[in-house]
Structure 1
Amino acid sequence: MRTSLKDLVDRLGSVWPNAWIQRYPHLGMMEWPIIDSDRRDQICWSDVNGNLVDFSVKVASTSIGGIHTVSSWHKWVWFPGNIARHAFCLWIACHRRLPTQDRMSIWVSEDEGLVCPLCEVEQDSHRHLFFQCVFAHDVWQRIKFFANLEEWPDGWDDIVELLSDDSYARKPLASKLFVAASVYYIWRERNNRLFRNAAISVDQIVQDIRNIVTMRLAWNTRRTRNQIHGPT
């Protein structure tokens, strides 16, 4: 037999058990609940302003995690049809938080080099990797052609500024996929050379990017067709 909240309150006799107060001291400061048998139970939550409101996951999440400004470039990262691992890598890149060697230098001795694994000339840094490095720059120039983004700049700060422009958010799905894939594959190649001593050519990276974007576009087309006409 289930015990109702009213039964529990009546059983406790308007006194919080000592074991409860010891574990949750704030109970001692709470008024004893008044049960109205004529009203239906309602789940409430105290919002960020201290107001008692109807409970929802959104309200609870906001109260716990706070309110955060939505980044203006989010439409280039979290768009329908994105490739999850590419989107995540691009998200970190837009925050400029990929762990390049210049950011990790506090754990590196002065004798250890911080040279870029791709060009082996300049210092490994976020700004250098996207897309000042001659290797990454070559990849980006070719991808810009396939993505119809020939007018786009080569500096990451300038690129993120374009990503934040609402007028560019309406670019085709292919363009968005190419941008995210370029960041992901360059970052992956950098890590493969640095940690696995494995390398592939610019031509191979560009081909890999084109292949993955083509497959995703085909998948997206099939998904859209199935949503409209049903599976064939």
Structure 2
Amino acid sequence: MDQIQWQGLDGVARIFSISTAYESIRPTAGTVPWFDAIWFPNCVPRHIMSRFSKSPFFECRYSTDVWNHALEYTQITSSHEWSMVASDTVGFRANKSAASLVAKLLFGATIYFIWQERNSRLFNSKKRAAKELFGVIYSTVRLKLLSVQFKESCQIDQLRIACKLK
């Protein structure tokens, strides 16, 4: 029986498969400092791609209004400058507390839904008020938090009350 061979960049011939071809040609690098702020247990994958794409839309009045609603539920400082908000979120990367999880989920969901709102306004001429959009963000994060298994503590009880998880 014939077999197709794949010679990777390392010069070693292997039996061909898509995964071996991909692994041999994909660029590799060390882990970046913000990796854990993006990929963490309980993250929402569709919120990841827009998370660190700097956008002037994030700095407009509408986005500021949406972000102000989100700040009420996080330990992120009240900065509206992109680099400061991203830096605060990266600061939570190794923190496994419930408050850290809420901050990372809210940050990702806020960026994702602001970008979605931008596209809706540009391509569909549909607009939502900032408070209405935050309602969507809050519901998304709340539903995600309902699926998380937390260790019981006073902090978790406070989180459940604040986010209406009970």
TM-score by length of 1: 0.52
Superposition pairs for residues 166-205 of structure 1, below 5 Å? 168-169=92-93, 170=95, 172-205=100-133
State the secondary structure of the residue aligned to 2:66.
Answer: helix
Asked whether 1:159 is paired with 2:85, we answer: yes
C-alpha spacing 1:60/1:70, structure 2 compared with 1 (3 Å): farther
C-alpha spacing 1:164/1:184, structure 2 compared with 1 (3 Å): same
Superposition pairs for residues 7-46 of structure 1, below 5 Å? none
What is the deviation of 1:86?
1.1
Gaps of 5+ in 1: 6-23, 25-44, 97-125, 225-232
Alignment check: 8 A CA contact 2:105 2:141 kept: yes
State the secondary structure of the residue aligned to 1:69.
Answer: coil
Superposition pairs for residues 99-138 of structure 1, below 5 Å? 126=55, 128-130=56-58, 132-138=59-65
Q: CA RMSD in A?
A: 3.1
CA deviation digits over 1:143-194, x for unaligned, max 9?
0121232x152121233334444xx211521111100000011111111111
CA distance in structure 2 between the partners assigned to 1:213 and 1:47 by the alignment:
43
Alignment check: 8 A CA contact 2:106 2:141 kept: yes
What is the deviation of 1:73?
1.4
Quote the sequence identity (%).
Answer: 23
C-alpha spacing 1:163/1:59, structure 2 compared with 1 (3 Å): farther
Corresponding letter in the other structure for 2:83: D
What is the deviation of 1:88?
2.7
Superposition pairs for residues 216-227 of structure 1, below 5 Å? 216-221=144-149
Alignment check: 8 A CA contact 1:76 1:176 kept: yes
In structure 1, what is the equivalent of residue 72 of structure 2? 145
- Where relative contact order (Cα < 8 A, 6+ residues apart) is larger, the structure is 2
State the secondary structure of the residue aligned to 2:148.
Answer: helix
Gaps of 5+ in 2: 152-166
CA distance in structure 1 between the partners assigned to 2:107 and 2:137 by the alignment:
10
State the secondary structure of the residue aligned to 1:89.
Answer: coil
C-alpha spacing 1:191/1:95, structure 2 compared with 1 (3 Å): closer
CA distance in structure 1 between the partners assigned to 2:120 and 2:11 by the alignment:
51
2:44 alignment partner, one of 83, 87, 94: 83
CA deviation digits over 1:113-166, x for unaligned, max 9?
xxxxxxxxxxxxx2x212x201101111220121232x152121233334444x
In structure 2, what is the equivalent of residue 210 of structure 1? 138
C-alpha spacing 1:95/1:203, structure 2 compared with 1 (3 Å): closer
TM-score by length of 2: 0.70
Aligned length: 145
